[in-house]
Amino acid sequence: MGWGEVSADLFDEVIMLKITLKRSLIGFNKKQRGSVRALGLGKVGSWVLHTDSPQIRGMIKKTCHLLQVEELAEPVEGEVK
């Protein structure tokens, strides 16, 4: 495999993440609030589905004290960000 070529094995198993906002953003710095907004979360209790990626994991790591993250074992039908 050369540069720019991706193995088909990488796309066989897609891990989905259900991310729920558990705490209010009041009192936290702008970067953390921005990361939560970039994930697509607004109000406490709201949730969103994302495919697992390094970018999403980085945003989760920076705001883990505000979020609840679940890995979904089975594929989810519908809108995925």
Place 5 in a pLDDT band, splitting at 50, 70 and 90. low
Q: What distance, in Å, lies between the first and last C-alpha atoms of the chain?
A: 29
Positive or negative torsion for Cα 17, 25, 43, 65: positive
Question: The pTM is what?
Answer: 0.77
CATH of the domain at 68: 3.30.1390.20
Q: For the chain, how many structural domains are there in total? A: 1
**Residue 17 maps to a domain:** yes
Q: Are 16 and 75 contacting, i.e. CB atoms less than 8 angstroms apart?
A: yes
- Spatial separation of the C-alpha atoms in residues 39 and 50, rounded to whole Å: 8
Token pair for residue 39?
């994930």
Structural domain for 66, as ranges: 13-72
**Residue 77 maps to a domain:** no
Q: What is the per-residue pLDDT across 31-80, written as a single tens digit (0 to 9) for each?
A: 999 999 999 999 999 999 999 999 999 999 999 999 999 998 776 666 55
Give, for 17, the enclosing helix (H) or strand (E): strand 16-21
**Residue 80 maps to a domain:** no
**Residue 21 maps to a domain:** yes
